[in-house]
Amino acid sequence: MDDFSLYPREEPFDPFSVMLFKALQVVAFLFFIALLAINPEAKAGKIDSKAEFLISMTWPDNHPDDMDLYVEDPVGNIAWFHQREAGFLVLERDDRGGANDFIMVNGRKVTSPIREETVSVRGVVPGEYTVNVNHYLATTGKPVPVSVKVEKLNPVVQVVHYDTIDMDHTGQERTAVRFKIDKDGEITDINHREKSLIELTRSTKRGDK
């Protein structure tokens, strides 16, 4: 009757195949544990950066106006679009509004809507830092909200200043923030007293002639 049964016969038991399958499971599990050991979970808020502080300036996406960021350190170095590296200050990008926010991809222009300039502070010099915004070119005739943020990067990211100011005409310069850093890299004072950095760059250039 077995030869005519409608149920399939059971396969014969093979102890070697079972042991091989179990061994493969163990190897796979050990491999997974090894991956966890090689790539430990990153600590929240921890970053790898060569900079100590990051100063960023943003204005509305796709805005055609050109804003410029100026940053002065305690010994008089000023980072701006004509001098992108000054002491430990580095202007990472000069954003010219609608003039240069694109890259070429396969012969076509791909535009970026983001309007942002950043200055990194790659070493701590104790003293006062000044951050200014210059409305280099106004095209709309309307006030433009410009946000300035100062972040302390190490050992964890910490926003130490954030504010928004209005810029409304070509050539306007405003002090967004002035702050002091002590010898331990901590910010000890924040104020908004006006100070022209454009005049200082002009005086330096006149002195060099």
Domains and CATH numbers, the chain: 53-208 (2.60.60)
Q: Which of 29-33, 34-38, 89-93 ranks highest by mean pLDDT?
A: 89-93
pLDDT at 13: 54
86 or 3, which is more confident: 86
| CB 189, CB 144: distance < 8 Å | no
Instruction: Report which residue type is found at 87.
Output: G
User: If you average pLDDT over residues 65-91, what whole number do you get?
Assistant: 97
pTM above 0.75, yes or no: no
Mean pLDDT, to the nearest integer, of 15-29? 67
pLDDT for residue 172 is more than 80: yes
pLDDT tens per residue, range 44-75: 444 445 899 999 999 999 999 999 999 999 99
128 versus 207: the higher-pLDDT residue is 128
pLDDT tops 50 at residue 43? no
In angstroms, the CA 109 to CA 102 distance is: 6
**Span 170-194, average pLDDT:** 95
